[in-house]
């Protein structure tokens, strides 16, 4: 995923798309589409944190006696424990989220009264780290430079995760982005990430602002 300069995004919303002064690198594998050819490079790189694989955890199960309980006396304590619960009986499942995932993504900017700005990348890169059990750090990576575009915190429950609302992605100086409805799922080595959001940016010297929506989708596999 490559980041385009926000200033050109503002001009696109207020007027019409203008050619970028920075040509879009073709090394990232961006697909041809009807959007503009603005550059979407990250303004800064966020440091990564070591990847940690969640340990396998099973619940303690109360000891059970092999003897049938009597109605006149309590069952004896056999002093043994049943095996940990499994997926079949609703027990917890340890999921290894950490890794680098490669595939394709789609970023759509929705402008009121104008056509959508669509960007596609068939060499998209997303990195998932696990700072602590149940907590994920999902980084969208610039496929051309390897820089981190944004790192999003999420809460995992098995193979499903919820991206924390209110975080920022695909915004630069002079604009405020707020993400919502973020979801991620992991099935085997396949990662799917979706979120929506809204960007507010100053349009002119009078301080008038424009708003446009964001919609992002990533689908890739771990390598």
Q: Check whether 87 has a pLDDT greater than 70.
A: no
**Least confident range of 60-64, 78-82, 124-128, 149-153:** 60-64
Q: Which residue has the higher pLDDT, 108 or 28?
A: 108
Mean pLDDT score of the chain? 72
Cα gap 24→35, rounded to integer Å: 12
Answer yes or no: is 99 within a domain.
yes
**Bridge partner list, 200:** 176, 211
Answer yes or no: is 130 within a domain.
yes
pLDDT (average), residues 179-186: 97
Q: Check whether 83 has a pLDDT greater than 60.
A: no
Answer yes or no: is 211 within a domain.
yes
Q: Check whether 27 has a pLDDT greater than 70.
A: no
Q: Check whether 171 has a pLDDT greater than 60.
A: yes
Q: What pLDDT was estimated at residue 207?
A: 67
Which residues, in sequence order, are CB contacts of 72 under 8 Å at separation 6+? none
Q: What pLDDT was estimated at residue 78?
A: 44
Report pTM.
0.59
Domain count, the chain: 1
Answer yes or no: is 127 within a domain.
yes
Answer yes or no: is 179 within a domain.
yes
- Which of these, 193, 34, 187, 181, lies nearest to 104 by C-alpha position? 193
pLDDT (average), residues 209-217: 91
SS3 (DSSP) at 159: coil
Answer yes or no: is 79 within a domain.
no
pLDDT (average), residues 99-106: 98
Q: What pLDDT was estimated at residue 68?
A: 44
pLDDT (average), residues 155-173: 93
Answer yes or no: is 107 within a domain.
yes
| CB contact burial 113-133 (16+ within 10 A = b; e otherwise) | eeeebbbbbebbbbbbbbeee
pLDDT (average), residues 182-201: 96
Answer yes or no: is 81 within a domain.
no
pLDDT (average), residues 19-28: 39
Rounded alpha-carbon distances, angstroms, from residue 100 to 97, 196, 209: 9, 22, 37
Residue 191 structural domain: 6-54+93-222
SS3 (DSSP) at 106: strand
């Amino acid at each position: 995923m490559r980041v385009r300069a926000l200033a050109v995004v503002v001009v696109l919303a207020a007027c019409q798309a203008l050619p970028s002064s920075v040509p879009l690198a073709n090394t990232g594998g961006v697909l041809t589409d009807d959007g503009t050819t603005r550059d979407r490079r990250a303004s800064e790189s966020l440091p990564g944190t070591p990847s940690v694989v969640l340990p396998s955890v099973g619940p303690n199960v109360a000891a059970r006696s092999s003897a049938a309980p009597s109605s006149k006396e309590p069952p004896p304590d056999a002093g043994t424990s049943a095996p940990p619960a499994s997926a079949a009986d609703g027990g917890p499942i340890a999921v290894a989220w950490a890794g680098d995932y490669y595939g394709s993504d789609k970023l759509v900017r929705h402008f009121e009264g104008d056509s959508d700005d669509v960007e596609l990348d068939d060499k998209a890169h997303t990195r998932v780290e696990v700072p602590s059990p149940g907590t994920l750090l999902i980084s969208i990576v610039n496929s051309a430079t390897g820089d981190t575009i944004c790192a999003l915190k999420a809460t995992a429950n098995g193979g499903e995760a919820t991206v924390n609302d209110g975080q920022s992605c695909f915004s630069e100086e002079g604009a405020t982005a707020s993400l919502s409805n973020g979801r991620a799922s992991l099935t085997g080595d396949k990662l799917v990430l979706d979120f929506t959001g809204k960007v507010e940016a100053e349009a002119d010297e009078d301080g008038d602002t424009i708003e446009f929506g964001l919609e992002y989708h990533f689908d890739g596999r771990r390598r």
